[in-house]
Chains A and B, each alone.
Chain A
Amino acid sequence: MNPLGEKYLRKNFLPFLFCPGCGDGMIIQAFLEAVDDLGIINDLALAAGIGCSAWIPVYIHADVLKVLHGRAIPAAIGLKATRPSRKVVVFTGDGDGLAIGGLHLLHAARRNIEMTVVVVNNQIYAMTGGQVAPSTPVGSRTQTTPYGNLEKPLDGCKVAVAAGATMVSRCSTAHPKALTRTFKKALTHKGFSFVEVVSQCPVQTGRYIHGSGAPQFNLQWLKDNCVPVDDPAKWIEIEAQGKIPVGDFLQIEQPEFMEEVQKMNQKVKEARAKGGDR
């Protein structure tokens, strides 16, 4: 087995229950490479909701909080509030994170709470059999859109930027080394970091939307359609061509929420000690 697997995976949970060719296993490997390079396995606290991607942290030998569908982010906020020294990472999917969990994403980003939210975007609700998700492209035939999807897909990266996230990136499983580099940046970012990973789902997205369930076909689809872009200003141009831009969209430094809360608590204590209230 891969030495990262020997070092960091829960052996009694193996083999992975992911479908053959699923991108989730590649995401685990890229994430563990980043964790290994940074040496932070003992500082990690992972949270996940429900879905194929929410199984990612279950395989990792770290502290994991597996909660209800869509509620990984509030659980992660609680984790961060009570254990501020931990590196909190949420693994969620396009259904779990952008549909039922969408509002939690908005407010965690708005507050700039130090955590990394990884949204694994396979453009469908895969675990439940292939229903339309907020990220499903227009015209796609799925279990719940047999005549074609009429809804415009939600762009998770733009939502995160609009909500106030201080680091936003998109990667794909077709570029695993870039994915590792992005994970390293996100894990060392001081603030809310959002990483969208466009991932292949041969069994659902492949069969229903792209026309083939072969893992090689789906990986090639990602290589052909995910275009690495250095300049965020060019994202619109790539999207206008019907492709998916991948790269770093935003990274800025702003006050982190938990630190600001601690500073405020300290100020109030000092004021009260002097006999005042503020």
Chain B
Amino acid sequence: MLCQYVCKFEVFEPGEERSALDYLMPRPAKLENCRVCRLCESHCPDMALVVVAEKKGKEKE
């Protein structure tokens, strides 16, 4: 789970769902910690992640 490894804000933890190839998938357990650095997105070998930022205040992402 490279997303869990590269995330500096401990967003991910091991999940219980399995992928189509029967691997245990990580889950974003602490989304409130996410800083939208997109390290997880760029390091995912399966292109399974997309980070979508919400706009807040004066279009701050």
| Contact residues of B between 13 and 32, Cβ < 8 Å to A | 19-21, 23
Give complex CA distance A219, B2 in Å.
8
A24 vs B56: C-alpha distance in the bound complex, in angstroms? Answer: 36
For A, the interface residue count at a CB cutoff of 8 angstroms equals 25
A21 lies within 8 A of B45 (CB): yes
A5 touches B5 (CB 8 A): no
* Chain A residues closer than 8 Å to B46, beta-carbon distance: 15-16, 25
Contact residues on B (Cβ < 8 Å of other chain), bracket? 10 to 19
Report if A1-B43 is in contact (Cβ < 8 Å); known contacts: A15-B21, A216-B2.
no
Output the nearest chain A residue to B51 by Cβ-Cβ distance: A2
- Scan residues 168-223 of chain A and give those whose CB is less than 8 A from a CB of chain B: 176-177, 215-216, 219-220
Indicate whether A261 reaches chain B with its CB closer than 8 angstroms.
no
A30–B43 alpha-carbon span in the complex (Å): 10
**Known: A15-B21, A215-B2, A216-B2. Contact between A3 and B50, CB under 8 A?**
yes
Q: What is the bound-complex CA distance between A16 and B43, given in angstroms?
A: 15
Is B53 engaged at the interface, CB distance under 8 Å to the other chain? Answer: no
- B45 and A22 form a contact (CB under 8 A): yes
Cα of A5 to Cα of B2 in the assembled complex, Å: 18
Residue pair B44, A29 in contact (C-beta under 8 Å): yes
CA distance in complex: A213, B21 (Å): 18
Q: Which residues of A contact B2 (CB under 8 A)?
A: 21, 215-216, 219
Q: Which of chain B's residues have a CB closer than 8 A to the CB of A15?
A: 19-21, 46
| Interchain residue pairs A-B with the least CB separation, the first 6 | A25-B45, A176-B42, A2-B47, A216-B5, A5-B47, A2-B50
**Known contacts A30-B42, A215-B5, A219-B6, then 20 further A-B pairs from the complex at CB < 8 Å, ordered by chain A residue:** A2-B41, A2-B48, A15-B20, A15-B46, A16-B47, A20-B23, A21-B2, A21-B45, A25-B44, A25-B45, A25-B47, A26-B42, A28-B47, A29-B42, A29-B47, A176-B43, A216-B1, A219-B2, A219-B43, A220-B5
